[in-house]
Structure 1
Amino acid sequence: GEWGEFNPWQVPMGSSTQAAFELCGVRVLRASHPAEVREVVEAAAAQAYNACTPTAVLLSQRLIGAKEFTK
């Protein structure tokens, strides 16, 4: 449901994933650029371990690249 998504059925969940996690009490951190992945993952791991807090890291579609399917 993010940048480059071509499957219309994936858009609703992709655009509501963070809100769904937060509604369940999960802290969400995002990485959108390669340079920030390590820092974000380390911060999430520290938060989850040290504070016993459910934590998720979302990697943006822009970070991993848009999928391309060809015949």
Structure 2
Amino acid sequence: MSVKFKPNKRTAEAILKGSEVQALLARKAAEVAARAGEGFTSGVRVGKDRARAYVLPETYKARKNQARNHVLERAVGRG
């Protein structure tokens, strides 16, 4: 017996934009920023259909470290 599945876009968007998902993303992004080292910051933004987390270098030293050593990629890979 086959079952028809019809996704509910509004419910999916509500879940992907929800406060629980935002909190999870914020925690994971903060962990990556901490592993990357001093000078990195993280945040969460809510877009049209989902929340997104980001980590980026804030200082010149952190930008230089990212450019030369790819510390963000390494930090993501460790988590």
Normalising by the residue count of structure 1, what TM-score does the alignment of the two structures yield? 0.32
Higher relative contact order (CA 8 A, sep 6+): 1
Normalising by the residue count of structure 2, what TM-score does the alignment of the two structures yield? 0.30
